Amino acid sequence: MVANFDSVQQIGKEQFEAASASAAAVTKGWQSIAAETTDYSKKSYEKSRALAEKLLSVKKIEEALHLQTEYAKGAYEDFVAGASKFGELYTAMTKEALKPFESVSKHFTPGK
């Protein structure tokens, strides 16, 4: 009976440690995502501001259309790159958050 209690107590301790490690991984992941979001927003704002300044100095409509077209192409490319980066960050965060539970799950695998 004492051996079973010790075993259950050890499993509880391992689960608590896994949950703590997982929470730390999620926190770190969210910090990375927040930093990337801030960086993306700053770059986007600066590019928009630069476009506005250029548009104020154009003399011909064709020039304005060319600037706007180039801006739209760049914004799309930045968005695609950002979406890929965010996808990678979310995937990495999920993997890191689940990693601590891999060792705990061995206690619940049938036949072990």
Q: Is residue 112 part of a domain?
A: no
Q: Is residue 91 part of a domain?
A: yes
Mean pLDDT, to the nearest integer, of 55-68? 96
Q: Which two tokens stand for residue 104?
A: 């705990």
Q: What is the pLDDT at residue 64?
A: 96
Burial pattern 54-78, b for ≥16 Cβ within 10 A else e, equals eeeeeeeeeebeebeeebeeeeeee
Mean pLDDT, to the nearest integer, of 54-83? 96
Q: Is residue 111 part of a domain?
A: no
Q: Is residue 29 part of a domain?
A: yes
Q: Is residue 89 part of a domain?
A: yes
Q: What is the pLDDT at residue 14?
A: 84
Split into its structural domains, the chain has a count of: 1
